[in-house]
Structure formats: structure tokens, C-alpha cells
Structure 1
């Protein structure tokens, strides 16, 4: 996702200025850097809490087939997320509103994701849980995709390394916090879902309010081409071997990671013998 710069043009590195525009730019960029770790934590916290609680819920609903049912949930959720994020990204690029291109999707996305979390807490069947998990993941992808686009939109190239680091710290922190929260509410799953949803909603709305977009209603909009969108899912490994190697490496790394993470609870219970 790409878009026009939403902040005033940054001062050149090494050039000292005291203009009001430069001060405003620095203040906005400072707020963005200070708050992005918390915003980046929101989608990951939602994913983590669904992954932790759904394993417990499925085990309660169908203990004999828990592995297969949890695998089904992970596959459906992953497939829906794989389609949702790039599609929402394309739509976000073409969104024109008083709140800008990203904020409307971030607000709707986080609200949708939180509704999915609360619904998951009330699920009484695997079908209900699966539906709620898909809703929550699609919602948090609608938040996370436009959030990622803020970097090319607003952050100058020489500051993007620091910005990416701060965003990554938020993601890692949420990955650690999710299981801790899940363990604390393992016997009160509905309450745990609701508290996490409230926390995510509060942080997300605060981030959008503190870091507002510019009104882009008069900006030109490129037409949407479904064929062009479909072609973005394929990059020739022959023409772009570096990309192919990076993709393969990330695929194997993430595949191995999630093979263990997704079934961690069942491995600990069934093979290590802990409760």
C-alpha cells in the first residue's frame, strides 16, 4: 500500500531549521513513534488470545478430535487473513474521506476484530467459534494492513529503521503478553476475551486520535483492476531470485514456528504430562 505523504515534508538531515512547520512535523512524528509500539501490539494480541483460548475451548467441546478441529480453525483463519489483508490494502489506497485513507479502515477493523473476540467468548460450538475467529482475524487485518502503510505514508526513509524497530517491539511484546493473559483467564475465557477486546479498542482509537490523517477527499483515486490485483499474488522466482529465497526462508521459519506454537498446549498436556 502506498499513498501521498500525510505530513509536511521533513527537514533535510543535518539542516537546522526553526520554522513552525518543521516543529509541527517533528511533534507529529514524535507522537507517531511513541505510540506505534502500542498500536502494533493490538492485532498480534488479538491473534494470540484467539490462538490460546480457542485451543482450550475446542478441547472442552470435542476432546477426542481436538487436534483436527484446531487445525481446521487455523487453516480457515489463515486463508481468510491471506485474502483479507491485501484486498483491504488495495481498498485503503483508494479510500477518500475526511479522516484520510487509513483511519476509517483502522477504526472499522479494530471494532470488527473486537466484536469477533467477544463473540468467541460466547461460542458454544466449534462452528460458532470458527466464525468468530474468522471475524476477529479479518477485522484485525483491516486494522493491521493500513497501520503498516503508515510507514511509507508518513515516515521519511532515514527514520524508517527506527520506526520498524519500535513497531516490531510492540508485536513481540504482544506475543509474550497474550499467553500470560490467557493463562490468567483460562477458567474465565469469556471475561478474558472481553477484557482484551476492550484494551485493543481503547489503544486503537487512541492511536488514530493522536495521529490523525489529512483530509484526502480531493486526492485523485486510481481505478481498481481485479486482474492487476490478482497478479500481485505472483512474483516470478526466475526474475526475482532474491525475493524467492527470502520468501522460502520466511515460509519455512514461520511454518516451523507455528507447527509448534499452534499445538503448544496439547503438546504440554498430552506428551509432557502437565495439566
Structure 2
């Protein structure tokens, strides 16, 4: 497993010892800035199909069978998520991710065989799903008036603070200056558009949801959560009937801060999605 955000050429050639890894899939996990998408071009593939050599492009990240974005948040057809290649060829198409995360996954049991690819990025005018690095930053999730789910994920325990919220309330000329404040447990009150805050031990699924919020609140200063899970996740669910937007900061929790008040993560994932 290799994780990188460094653009350029990557090349892999299977060593002689590769026969010991016949059933092992390896991966190059690519990451870009939050407002970018990833482009991958395979300029060389030499991997015999009959030996089960294969290289694939995954739109998003996969880890232990769990995906980011998960199936509910992936805004394309499932068949668009994967591209697989073998044989000896040059691949003409340029493969694009839907967000700032992508994966090149490969299995090359035959020594001397391999592939190369070029990784670059370009601006994404409508970022939705975002994979976050550990540094503190201000992020905005919005649905652009569409029926899509957007999520922000950090693969660490984290502190989250909501800076502004406009979710689940229709805004028109009469109500655009109205402040409702922040409502809680919105998903349990038959509100179709809301934001889930929580974490888990997998990329795709929550182990715990600490809150589900909606409303119009320009200064929700008291909304702050510390999530002590391996994965921290904020997910905005949108029906397409409203323009939803949430702005927040997310900051990796330091080791000495884990003893502070916060939400501990169960080791067994919850069935709640």
C-alpha cells in the first residue's frame, strides 16, 4: 500500500519473489486537494491475462472491502467506479475520479511483468465528496440543488466545529435572512435533508452517529464534537428540493487529547447507515 499526492509517473515491475504474493492485491492510493479531481493515464501495461495479472482504476478509495464514497454517496453508476486491464497494450482513455481520491489496484504474480501510469489533477467546479488530510482547514459541503449525498471523511479521530449551516430549509426572498438556529435529530423528525456527524472503523459505514442536524444558523458556535474513531465522517443527505450548505473545520485529534470528553467509537460497526 502506497499513499501519495505527488503528481507524475509511476512504474511497477514484479520482482522474482512475487510468486509468494499470488493472491495479494496491492494499491497506490492517490489523493488531491479538496477542490480537485484525479486523472490517471496508463501508458504501459504488460500483464498476461491468463496468469491472473490485473491492474485496475477505482474511482475512490477501497480498504478491506469498504469504499469511499460508499454506494449511497457515489453519484455515478456502479459500473463507472472500476476499470480493469490486462494483456500487453497502451490504454488510450484518461481515467477520471469523481472526487479528490482514487486508487490504482494491482495484482502481478508473474515476475518481470508490470505497468506504468501518469497521475495528474484538474480543478473540480462542484466538489461533493472530500477525503481530508490531517491538517486543520475550513471545508464546505453543498449539493448545488441536486439530489445527491456529499460526505467529508478523515481517517483519524478528529474534532469538528460547525461554522455555518443552511440545510433542510427552503430559502426565498422573504426568508433568506431568517435564522432558525440548529435543529437536532433531524432524520428522526421526517426531515428529508440533514447532516450526519459521526465516525466508524470502516470507510463506508458509521459505527456511531453523534448528531443529525439541520436548519439555518450562521453562528452555531456551540456545535463541536470530538470523535474518537479510526474514521471521522460528516455526511450531508439531500433530496434535491433545497440548496444545502454546511461549512466546518475538522482537525486531527492529538494523542494526548483522546482522554478529553468526546465520543468513543464501538469496535463493531453499527447497522445504521
Q: TM-score, normalised by structure 1?
A: 0.24
Q: TM-score, normalised by structure 2?
A: 0.24
**Counting strand residues as a fraction of each chain, which structure ranks higher?**
2
**Counting helix residues as a fraction of each chain, which structure ranks higher?**
1
Does 1 or 2 have the higher relative contact order (CA < 8 Å, sep 6+)? 1
